Amino acid sequence: MKTLIVIPTYNEGSTIERVLNTTLEAIEGDILVVDDNSSDATKELVRNFFDTGRVFMLERPSKLGLGTAYIYGFRWGLSRGYDLFFEMDADNSHNPAALPWFLKELRGGYDVVVGSRYLHHTISVVGWDFKRLLLSKFGNWYAATLLGLKQFTDLTSGYRCYTSKALKAIGLEKIKSNGYAFQIEMVYRSHRKGLKVAEMPIIFYERGGGGSKMSRKIVREAMALPFKLRLEAIRHIFKDNI
């Protein structure tokens, strides 16, 4: 299976080399870095890996957001015939050694596999304070409850894998959200399309460098999204019954 790992970056110069090296070692696949005009050395460091023939980069003019970065990368990969698409952070939060575990789960016939920090009533997070953990847990409970997705424990996880079939079925043109809301929307639309979605346990590590991407705007979007998706579903039901 032709595999692409999509890694969005914005000022990840302190971590990107290690992430690329360990990812190249962990799995046979290509890496696409989607950079939002980093002002540090990120882009130069990524270019040093071009000689591997497995690392590519798309440069965007400004900081346009996580969700649009993934969609940009997914479209690039779909146009080039990739079969599997990973999402992974560039700050050492996601252990590349777990990449083969996703592939093992996909062999069970799943279309989407999400790496969960909270599966089986555990909390597999290293380095977070209680406030950050509480916000994450509440956000997942809130979204899962409003969207009828209580079978999932970690809708906001950014470590996951999609098949090309899943991305085509979801319809990337329909995705309007960014940040953590993007992760929620992708699982929701996958479930609504009848795709097989699984969770597998991962350990999440607090970033190894750079600053937090969390902001009030990202939190507000994640809070509003479930209501928007519910209203969308109600409108479709109403329209179908007219």
**DSSP strands (E only) in 69-192:** 84-87, 112-116, 125-126, 160-163
| Six-digit token string for 221 | 């979007």
Q: Residues near 107 by Cβ (< 8 Å), separated by ≥ 6?
A: none
User: pTM higher than 0.95 for the full model?
Assistant: no
Domain residue limits, the chain = 3-240
pLDDT of residue 71: 97
pLDDT of residue 76: 98
CA torsion angle 226 227 233 234 (round to 10): 160
Q: Which residues of the chain have pLDDT under 70?
A: 208-215, 233-242
Distance CA 156, CA 20 (A): 23
**Which residue's structure tokens are 């304070």?**
129
Interval 100-138: pLDDT, tens: 999 999 999 999 999 999 999 999 999 999 999 999 999
pLDDT of residue 237: 54
3-240 is a CATH 3.90.550.10 domain = yes
Q: Residues near 156 by Cβ (< 8 Å), separated by ≥ 6?
A: 136, 139, 140, 143, 180, 183, 184, 222
**Which residue's structure tokens are 């540090």?**
40
pLDDT of residue 218: 72
**DSSP strands (E only) in the chain:** 3-9, 30-35, 55-59, 84-87, 112-116, 125-126, 160-163, 197-201, 204-205
pLDDT of residue 44: 98
Which pairing describes strands 160-163 and 112-116: parallel, antiparallel, or unpaired?
antiparallel
Distance CA 88, CA 138 (A): 23
**Which residue's structure tokens are 């980093």?**
38
**Which residue's structure tokens are 């999204």?**
225
